Amino acid sequence: MFMYNESEKNTKNMCDVLADCDAMEDALHEECGVFGMYDFDGKDVASTIYYGLFALQHRGQESCGIAVSDTNGPKGKVVSYKGMGLVNEVFTQESLEPMHGDIGVGHVRYSTAGASTRENAQPLVLNYVKGTLGLAHNGNLINATELRKELEYTGAIFQTTIDSEVIAYHVARERLNTNTVEDAVVRACRKIKGAFSLVIMSPRKLIGARDPFGFKPLCIGKRDNAYILASETCALETIGAEFVRDVLPGEVVTITPDKGIVSDMSNALPKEKEARCIFEYIYFARPDSHIDGVSVYASRIMAGKFLAMDSPVEADLVVGVPESGNAAALGYSLQSGIPYGTAFVKNSYVGRTFIKPKQSSRESSVRVKLNVLKEAVNGKRIIMIDDSIVRGTTSDRIVKMLRDAGATEVHVRISSPPFLWPCYFGTDIPEREQLIAYNRSIEEIKDIIGADSLGYLKLERLHEMVQGLPICRGCFTGEYPLEPPTEDIRGEYDK
């Protein structure tokens, strides 16, 4: 059952019918986006956090929230507001107006499984003996169940089903035995395993933490006398902040007026063991972001060029499936010399909300969201570039739409290798049996989706695509950077 309060009823209209088109389609989803801000001049940060979350909306569309505190006011007093839906649906001028505070954290969320409810929305605000914590988490822990049971047996009572609450509890417990909250965060980070980028607000400090593998991105920005932590650099540019640097894998940074940025790298791994999620570059991140010094847009252009080199075909037009396929399509065009064009019109007003669709709704959802420009494809041989094929339930419909519009040939090129394994670190790649590439040849997949030819990005091209950065390739190879859980508990606890 999905829960919403009075302020959310206005979102439950046409979207009841259209539902979540991305979920109905064969699309991947990211866990969430995090944003934090500390204004040393004492100015309110809630409205800026709102715009930062707006820029990170692509990372999660089910729920969002903001928590702020006044460092000069009563210690530990936190004002928070969160709800189900998009940022501009949940927040209004009236809800932001009372949120006074010079330090705050924000969150946009997409759940991979389990309950999508207001109780599971973030940031989490925890009151404990040392004060308060506001926490926003991007990623997925593989030892959350084990840690949760340990806490429950010692009397902990959980209010949510998200592993982020496990992190918050451990930070609070470690704080009882440390001199500073940042030391408590470091100790907690040594206990948790998996993918995490954290933004934590204490009464007088803003803290950012990134897991040792660097699965999820996190960066630092500055605007006037305020510091920002954000999942992507595009959020910094949206609010007019300058990029300072990335939070390094395994690093915990503490931001305060008296010391600025203080770093703790005691949780870092050797650089060769880092394992960034490759899908940040292929699909998740906005193309105008830079992650660990690499342009997302340039990576997608490069992927398209590699496809043209390794899987050439004669055609009249190269097109991308919006939005993430567009840059790779341009790269294919630049490398091959085949003209780049627009074949799809995307309905930008189809809301991606918290209503989960039924499997039977998938067919109509594609046409609700995408339509083909018949004049662009009629009588032409088309190369269609997409970022991935998961189950194949959308690709066949898009290929058919191109044929119905008069395309004489449709050649599909995918800017990632075939999915063969699930992901346990924050991407909702399902069990192997649900993956179209599992136990099937490329020729068989081509026939299923109805294409004239099919080509995937070669596995060895991934490192070139991100300029040699260490990456996680587990969903393609089954070789994970750390041992996955012995049982898949992604449906037991919502991430």
Taking only the tens place, the pLDDT of each residue in 256-288 is 999 999 999 999 999 999 999 999 999 999 999
Tokens of 270: 């050797």
CB 147 within 8 A of CB 166: yes
CB 196 within 8 A of CB 209: yes
Taking only the tens place, the pLDDT of each residue in 337-387 is 999 999 999 876 655 433 344 444 444 567 678 899 999 999 999 999 999
CA distances from 16 to 86, 166, 323, 393 (A): 14, 33, 24, 21
Taking only the tens place, the pLDDT of each residue in 21-34 is 333 356 665 569 99
The residue type of 323 is E
Helix (H) or strand (E) holding 200: strand 194-201
Which pLDDT does position 29 carry in this prediction? 55
Q: How confident is the model at residue 473 (pLDDT cuts 50, 70, 90)?
A: very high
- Smallest Cα–Cα separation from 252: which of 327, 328, 353, 174? 174
Q: How far apart are CA 261 and CA 238, in angstroms?
A: 22
Other beta carbons within 10 angstroms of residue 51's beta carbon come to 16
73 has pLDDT over 90:
no
Question: In Å, how far from its chain's centre is CA 132?
Answer: 27
Between residues 490 and 322, which one has the greater pLDDT? 322
Known catalytic residue at 277: no
Q: How far apart are CA 457 and CA 454, in angstroms?
A: 10
CA distances from 476 to 5, 33, 479 (A): 41, 24, 8
Which residues pair with residue 270 across a beta bridge? none
Tokens of 138: 């991007």
219 has pLDDT over 70:
yes
Is 31-270 in CATH node 3.60.20.10? yes
Q: How far apart are CA 220 and CA 112, in angstroms?
A: 27
Name residue, tokens 């605007």. Answer: 223
**Strands 370-372, 344-346: pairing kind:** antiparallel
Q: Give mean pLDDT, residues 8-31.
A: 42
Burial class (CB in 10 A: 0-12, 13-18, 19+), 251: buried
Taking only the tens place, the pLDDT of each residue in 150-183 is 888 887 778 777 888 899 989 999 999 999 999 9
Which pLDDT does position 159 carry in this prediction? 78
Domain with CATH 3.60.20.10 in the chain: 31-270
Instruction: Taking each helix axis as running N to C, give the angle between helix 296-310 and helix 324-336, from 0 to 180 degrees, rounded to the nearest 10.
Output: 50
Other beta carbons within 10 angstroms of residue 145's beta carbon come to 16
Share of the chain above pLDDT 70, in %: 86
Q: How confident is the model at residue 115 (pLDDT cuts 50, 70, 90)?
A: low
Between residues 232 and 324, which one has the greater pLDDT? 232
- Smallest Cα–Cα separation from 300: which of 276, 314, 280? 280
- Smallest Cα–Cα separation from 385: which of 312, 315, 278, 307? 307
188 has pLDDT over 70:
yes
What are the DSSP E strand ranges found in 169-241? Answer: 194-201, 206-210, 219-223, 226-230
- pTM reported for the whole predicted model: 0.88
Which pLDDT does position 153 carry in this prediction? 82
Which pLDDT does position 324 carry in this prediction? 84
Average of per-residue pLDDT values in the chain:
87
Task: Calculate Rg over the CA atoms of the chain.
Answer: 22
Taking only the tens place, the pLDDT of each residue in 46-68 is 999 999 999 999 999 899 999 99
Which pLDDT does position 487 carry in this prediction? 62
Q: Give mean pLDDT, residues 384-394.
A: 91
Q: Sign of the C-alpha dihedral, residues 448, 31, 307, 305?
A: positive
- Give 101-137 as a DSSP string: -SEEEEEEE--SSS---GGG-S-EEEEETTEEEEEEE
CB 208 within 8 A of CB 35: no
CB 217 within 8 A of CB 263: no
Phi, psi torsion values for 133, nearest 5 degrees: -130, 135
Catalytic residue among 32, 64, 189, 423: 32
314 has pLDDT over 70:
yes
Tokens of 14: 């046409």
Which pLDDT does position 9 carry in this prediction? 35
Q: How far apart are CA 54 and CA 36, in angstroms?
A: 13
Classify domain 293-458 by CATH number: 3.40.50.2020
Domain with CATH 3.40.50.2020 in the chain: 293-458
